[in-house]
């Protein structure tokens, strides 16, 4: 497989990113791992003579909710295809003042509020207990490359990873703000920590698609408006991905 279906870098697409426009699709493969099936086929693509692998986190039809994503299978499948660097694209809600809708954020920290997810490879048939260093959850070199590839992405911020699939209450968002969170999403963990466990470089490219509950005077989240921002924001994401491959 690695002779003709491999790449150094992979993109995991979140809500709104189900394909890479202007990228030449070379091949699709459905893989099965020891951890189960990935969310979608892996798509080998090319841009400017650079190859990459794309995987749709929620499935190509966007039918897998955040708490049902098989994060272990997704990362493992990418590792088996020779991937060394992973960019996780995510749609998030803005909590703090700078994180207004349409803002792109390259976070540098994360707080995990999820539960009951398969969050580690190190749990069965171990020779010894394994602890990974997760002080800095994102790979700094990859973060820097994303920032260089973007005109105005925000450098840093804390991603609050919540369980979903429901959106949060205003009181919950207020607690996240008190805890030091800047943005909130549902897929940041355990994706980041699993990548660290299998020694994949990992960074998140987040698009703020709405104010989180109760922020900026928000009374109710408008899903139609949110989807419009997703469509516009993903054009910016595409531009960043092209630049990083250049």
The rounded radius of gyration (Å) of the Cα atoms in the chain is 17
Phi-psi bin for 163: left (phi > 0), alpha (psi -120 to 50), beta? alpha
CA–CA separation, 243 vs 238, rounded Å?
9
Q: Is 152 annotated as a binding residue?
A: no
Q: Strand, helix or coil at 51?
A: strand
Q: Is 57 annotated as a binding residue?
A: yes
Q: Strand, helix or coil at 86?
A: strand
Q: Is 210 annotated as a binding residue?
A: yes
Cα atoms in the 13 Å half-sphere on the side-chain side of 91: 22
CA–CA separation, 108 vs 241, rounded Å?
19
Q: Is 186 annotated as a binding residue?
A: yes
Q: Is 131 annotated as a binding residue?
A: no
Q: Is 212 annotated as a binding residue?
A: yes
Cis peptide upstream of residue 165 (ω within 30 degrees of 0):
yes
> Quick count: other Cβ atoms within 10 Å of Cβ 166?
9
Give the single-character DSSP code of 68.
G
Please choose, from the candidates 136, 6, 187, the residue with its C-alpha nearest in 3D space to the C-alpha of residue 81.
6
| Binding region for phosphate | 15, 57-58, 187
Q: Annotated binding residues, as ranges? A: 15, 57-58, 186-187, 210-212
Binding residues for substrate: 186, 210-212
């Amino acid at each position: 497989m690695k002779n003709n279906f491999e790449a150094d870098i992979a993109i995991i697409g979140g809500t709104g990113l189900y394909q890479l426009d202007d990228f030449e699709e070379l091949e699709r493969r459905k893989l099965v791992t020891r951890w189960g099936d990935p969310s979608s086929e892996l798509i080998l693509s090319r841009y400017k003579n650079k190859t990459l692998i794309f995987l749709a986190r929620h499935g190509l039809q966007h039918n897998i909710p955040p708490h049902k994503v098989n994060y272990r299978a997704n990362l493992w499948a990418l590792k088996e295809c020779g991937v060394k660097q992973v960019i996780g694209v995510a749609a998030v809600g803005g909590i703090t003042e700078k994180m207004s809708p349409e803002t792109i954020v390259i976070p540098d920290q994360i707080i995990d509020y999820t539960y009951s997810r398969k969050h580690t490879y190190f749990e069965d048939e171990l020779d010894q207990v394994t602890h990974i260093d997760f002080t800095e959850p994102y790979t700094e070199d990859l973060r820097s490359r994303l920032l260089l590839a973007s005109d105005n992405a925000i450098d840093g911020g804390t991603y609050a990873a919540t369980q979903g699939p429901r959106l949060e209450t205003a009181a919950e968002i207020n607690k996240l703000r008190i805890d030091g969170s800047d943005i909130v999403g549902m897929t940041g963990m355990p994706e980041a920590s699993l990548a660290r466990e299998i020694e994949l470089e990992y960074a998140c490219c987040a698009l703020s698609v709405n104010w989180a509950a109760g922020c900026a005077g928000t009374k109710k989240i408008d899903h139609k408006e949110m989807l419009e921002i997703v469509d516009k924001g993903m054009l910016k994401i595409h531009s960043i991905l092209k630049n990083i491959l250049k």
